[in-house]
């Protein structure tokens, strides 16, 4: 496979690169048990995992950011999650092989997530991808989170690549919006954490895929769409 002229493929973390739902849901269920509440099924919690602590607290404890006790509950959730975030989290099947193929083809790879950097960095270190990502950008790394494009620009700056020669892969409209705003090609993944009623085809991603196995063909298709039309002018 050849991904040139793309310089980097960048991934969202939760629901795109890693299946983190078991530990995110596990953390909110730990808090429910502390409150004498029965645990909720993973299938009910997983679609909200893309929203991190806010999604888990909203679904699991019916708490919103405007509630008086939200801030304390959020801090408690983060610490609960921190204590178990590597327990059941796994890379999606085929993802380790994918990033290895990308690197062997001369394409860098990295992570841009809205998960705070203090969680994203140790999680990615624990996951021990080989080769390691060229960058891990958290939701607080650039001072603003997706859908603002600032994290995308920061990733490109750290890797030394042109945003117009990058692909961003994610499982939310925020991911696609941030990638598009930065001038990147975008891929939406239907296997991720997508809330009921959210139409992935309405995000305006360049390509939508159903599985990790579909990502390499999608990257090749994007290369054809973006770069194959350039022709040498007649002399």
| CATH of residue 113 | 3.40.50.1000
| Res 194: pLDDT | 96
148 and 34 within one domain: no
**Which residue, of 33, 57, 82, is where some domain finishes?**
82
Task: Summarize pLDDT for 141-156 with one digit per residue, the tens.
Answer: 999 999 999 999 999 9
What 3-state class would DSSP assign to 97? helix
| Res 48: pLDDT | 95
Q: Which helix (H) or strand (E) holds 60?
A: helix 52-61
Read off the tokens for 229: 């039309």
Instruction: State the residue range of the domain holding 58.
Output: 21-82
Closest CA to 205 of 222, 191, 185, 221: 185
Report yes or no on 233 lying in a domain: no
pLDDT class of 229 with cuts at 50, 70, 90: low
Which residues make beta-bridge pairs with 90?
A: 19
101 and 59 within one domain: no
Closest CA to 136 of 161, 160, 113, 153: 113
Q: How far apart are CA 80 and CA 22, in angstroms?
A: 13
**Which residue, of 39, 66, 82, is where some domain finishes?**
82
Catalytic site residue from 12, 173, 175, 206 = 12
Q: Catalytic annotation on 93?
A: no
| Res 227: pLDDT | 73
| Res 233: pLDDT | 40
- Are 193 and 207 in contact by the 8 Å Cβ rule? The answer is no
Report yes or no on 53 lying in a domain: yes
122 and 69 within one domain: no
User: Phi and psi for 130 in degrees, rounded to 5?
Assistant: -130, 105
């Amino acid at each position: 496979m050849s991904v040139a002229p793309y310089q980097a493929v960048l991934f969202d973390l939760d629901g795109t690169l890693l299946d983190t739902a078991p530990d995110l849901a596990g953390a909110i269920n730990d808090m429910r048990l502390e409150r004498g509440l029965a645990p909720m099924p993973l299938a009910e919690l997983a679609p909200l995992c893309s929203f991190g602590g806010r999604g888990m607290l909203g679904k699991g404890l019916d708490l919103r950011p405007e509630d008086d006790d939200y801030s304390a509950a959020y801090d408690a959730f983060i610490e609960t999650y921190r204590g178990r975030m590597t327990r059941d989290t796994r890379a999606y099947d085929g993802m380790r092989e994918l990033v290895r193929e990308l690197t062997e083809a001369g394409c860098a790879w990295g992570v841009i997530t809205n998960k705070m950097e203090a969680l994203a960095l140790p999680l990615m270190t624990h996951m021990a991808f080989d080769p390691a990502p060229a960058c891990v950008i958290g939701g607080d790394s650039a001072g603003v989170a997706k859908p603002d494009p600032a994290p995308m620009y920061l990733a490109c700056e750290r890797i030394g690549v042109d945003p117009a020669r990058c692909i961003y892969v994610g499982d939310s409209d925020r991911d696609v919006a941030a990638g598009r705003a930065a001038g990147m090609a975008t891929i939406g993944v239907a296997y991720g954490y997508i809330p009921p009623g959210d139409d992935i085809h309405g995000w305006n991603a360049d390509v939508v895929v159903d599985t990790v196995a579909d990502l390499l063909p999608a990257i090749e298709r994007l290369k054809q769409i973006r770069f194959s039309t350039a022709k040498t002018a007649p002399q």
